[in-house]
Amino acid sequence: MGRVLQAYLDGCVQQPAAGRLDEHFAHCRDCGLEIEVYRQLKQSLRRSGPEVPPAALDRLRRFAAELGGKG
Ligand SMILES: [Zn+2]
């Protein structure tokens, strides 16, 4: 799922697949959370460029790993 999520957030998923994913994320709590993590990660990367606060990145990574670990 991780690769699909990343493609989706990068805008690489075309319709109608993107629409189906939108729907899924709206209803699936696990994927919704994962999407939130990736969004925050991307946002923080964009905002601060290469100087992302390591603590914030670490927290997001751990959260994402936790979500991924649940399968
Ligand atoms: Zn899901």
For ligand 1, the distance from its centroid to the CA atom of residue 24, given in whole angstroms, is 6
Cα of 14 to ligand 1 centre, how many Å?
A: 18
Confidence of residue 70 (pLDDT cuts 50, 70, 90): low
For the whole model, what pTM was predicted? 0.52
In terms of phi and psi (left: phi > 0; alpha: psi -120 to 50; beta: otherwise), the region of 49 is: left
Distance 26 CA to ligand 1 centre (A): 9
| Closest of 67, 66, 64, 41 to residue 54, by C-alpha | 41
| Segments making up each domain of the chain, as ranges | 2-69
pLDDT in tens, 9-61: 888 889 999 999 889 988 999 888 888 888 888 787 776 655 666 777 788 78
The residues near 57 (Cβ < 8 Å, ≥ 6 apart) are: 41, 44
